């Protein structure tokens, strides 16, 4: 199952090895890839609301983005992009920070509803022609919720978010009729909660929390995973870091956990892994030229793990770890992007192509192939259709 992750570092212009497909944005001239040009938005998605991508079993991407508060999802049908129904948040407040997941019955989207000062997180499933709400909201009534994450696996659809006051790291699962908090969900003082699923479908979470300051260290990442054998959470050693609170988590096919966090002191962003039978983290080196902020991660089945990271104040990159070393496979300028690994090991990337954080942006999509010498993206010359409005 693809792992959906996202990264915010400004507006994005992404360059990889070859041509690409594009989605979610008005036609124009912005964003250049070797061999293919893509549209620059005259209207389109709100870059500050972020975006999300997921890949179905046939390798077709779906992208969620926000336009003027409306959460719209478009899917590649083999020849072009079609909008799935009306806005997923129709009848609710303005949406931001969408998350996407795919299970055996189709697409589920979650988002933060910012209609009131006490934000809530909601979810909906696409049911052929329209979006159907999964409960009234994900977080418990009377509580706040922000920044949802979604993952689908053998035990169903899971969501995580920081919720309550002070915010705790909350994990919950859709039962088919309601959201049910996972037993003994840990922690308080969570500023973000990353979610991944182990091979048996059990949740693993990493959450960022403030730390008693020691020198320059201001934050730490706590990580726990659910053990199906003991029916309890197992904690891993926390990781301390400084600067912006940023971390990401991915679980591989054999249950190895990968954790990326922000820098400590002047060192490069530490990336760690924990083997299925291990009790501690093992440092596995740093992406080439990385200078700050461990970014998003996605599993690339059979080929490794992809990680987004900062190269400098206005530049980022994507690297792949294959078990022995890191290889940089893409470069990003001031990035707002999301990526997901497909079942064939390829990487799909969606990124915002705009004129700054305040202006509506196009959102383009490309596929990076992990096999073969060309490492080309899919469908050279594909058009950049308008998003996010209903396809005719």
Q: Which domains can be identified in the chain, with CATH numbers?
A: 5-368 (2.120.10.10)
Contact yes or no for 56/4 (Cβ under 8 A) = no
206-233 core/surface letters (b: 16 or more CB in 10 A; e: else): bbbbebeeeeeebbbbbbbbbeeeeeeb
- Count the helix, strand and coil residues of the chain and give each as a percent rounded to the nearest 5: 0, 50, 50
What is the pLDDT averaged over residues 264-287?
77
Rounded CA-CA distance 360/368 in Å is 26
| Tokens standing for residue 255 | 């249950």
| Tokens standing for residue 151 | 């993952």
Helices (H) and strands (E) counted in the chain, each on its own, are: 0, 32
Neighbour tally for 235: CB within 10 Å = 12
Question: For residues 318 and 45, which has the higher predicted lDDT (pLDDT)?
Answer: 318
Question: Residue 20: pLDDT above 50?
Answer: no
pLDDT band at 358 (very low <50, low <70, confident <90, very high): low
Nearest CA to 336 out of 367, 369, 360 is that of 360
Question: Residue 120: pLDDT above 50?
Answer: yes
Nearest CA to 385 out of 24, 77, 53, 45 is that of 24
Rounded CA-CA distance 147/160 in Å is 8
Question: Which phi and psi angles does 48 have, rounded to 5°?
Answer: -70, -20
Neighbour tally for 64: CB within 10 Å = 32
Mean pLDDT, the chain, rounded, equals 74
Angle at 339 between CA 336 and CA 167, to 5 degrees: 70
Order of strands, sheet of 271-274, starting from the edge strand that comes earlier in the sequence: 247-251, 257-261, 271-274, 282-283
**DSSP of 224-285:** EEEETTTTEEEEEEEEEE-SS--EEEEE-TTS-EEEEE---TTSPPPEEEE-TT-SS-EE--
Taken in order 254, 255, 256, 259, is the CA torsion positive or negative? positive
| Tokens standing for residue 118 | 């006490």
pLDDT band at 297 (very low <50, low <70, confident <90, very high): confident
Contact yes or no for 326/287 (Cβ under 8 A) = yes
- The β-bridge partners of 204 are 196, 225
pLDDT for the residue 81: 85
pLDDT band at 312 (very low <50, low <70, confident <90, very high): low
Consecutive H or E run containing 221: strand 217-227
Question: Residue 49: pLDDT above 90?
Answer: no
pLDDT for the residue 177: 95
Measure Cα distances from 63 to 226, 340, 354, 385 in Å: 29, 11, 17, 13
Rounded CA-CA distance 69/85 in Å is 16
Q: pLDDT tens digits for 168-179?
A: 889 999 999 999
| Tokens standing for residue 132 | 């159907």
Whole-structure pTM value: 0.83
Question: Which phi and psi angles does 178 have, rounded to 5°?
Answer: -160, 160
Rounded CA-CA distance 310/332 in Å is 9
Looking at residue 49, the DSSP 8-state letter turns out to be G
pLDDT for the residue 95: 93
Contact yes or no for 27/349 (Cβ under 8 A) = no
Rounded CA-CA distance 318/287 in Å is 8
| Tokens standing for residue 289 | 């030229």
What is the pLDDT averaged over residues 376-380?
31
């Amino acid at each position: 199952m693809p792992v959906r992750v996202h990264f915010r570092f400004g507006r994005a212009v992404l360059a990889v090895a070859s041509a690409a497909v594009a989605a979610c944005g008005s036609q124009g001239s912005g964003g250049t890839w070797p061999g293919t040009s893509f549209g620059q938005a005259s209207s389109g998605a709100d870059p500050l609301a972020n975006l999300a991508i997921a890949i179905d079993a046939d390798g077709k991407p779906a992208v969620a983005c926000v336009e003027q508060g409306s959460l719209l999802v478009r899917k590649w049908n083999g020849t072009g992009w079609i909008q799935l129904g009306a806005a997923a948040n129709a009848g609710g407040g303005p949406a931001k920070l969408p998350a996407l997941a795919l299970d055996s019955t189709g697409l589920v989207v979650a988002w933060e509803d910012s209609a009131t000062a006490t934000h809530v997180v909601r979810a909906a499933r696409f049911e052929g022609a329209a979006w159907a709400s999964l409960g009234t909201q994900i977080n418990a009534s009377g509580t706040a919720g922000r920044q949802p994450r979604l993952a689908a696996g053998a035990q169903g659809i899971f969501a995580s978010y920081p919720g309550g006051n002070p915010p705790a790291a909350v994990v919950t699962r859709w039962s088919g009729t309601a959201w049910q908090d996972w037993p003994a969900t840990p922690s308080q003082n969570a500023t973000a909660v990353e979610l991944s699923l182990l091979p048996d479908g059990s949740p693993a979470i990493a959450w960022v929390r403030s730390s008693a300051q020691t020198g320059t260290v201001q934050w730490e990442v706590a990580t726990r995973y659910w053990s199906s054998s003991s029916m309890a959470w197992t904690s891993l050693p926390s990781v301390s870091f400084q600067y912006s609170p940023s971390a990401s988590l991915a679980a591989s096919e054999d249950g190895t956990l990968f954790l990326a966090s922000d820098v400590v002191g002047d060192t490069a962003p530490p990336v760690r892994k924990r083997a299925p039978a291990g009790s501690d983290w093992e440092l596995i080196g740093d992406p080439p030229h990385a200078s700050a902020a461990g970014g998003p991660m996605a599993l690339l089945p059979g080929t490794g793990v992809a990680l987004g990271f900062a190269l400098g104040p206005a530049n980022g990159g994507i690297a792949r770890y294959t078990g022995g070393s890191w290889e940089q496979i893409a470069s990003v300028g001031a990035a707002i992007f999301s990526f997901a690994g497909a079942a064939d090991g390829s990487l799909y990337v969606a990124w915002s192509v705009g004129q700054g954080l305040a202006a509506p942006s196009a959102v383009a999509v490309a596929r990076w192939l992990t096999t073969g010498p060309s490492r080309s993206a899919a469908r050279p010359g594909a058009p950049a259709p308008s998003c996010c409005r209903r396809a005719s």
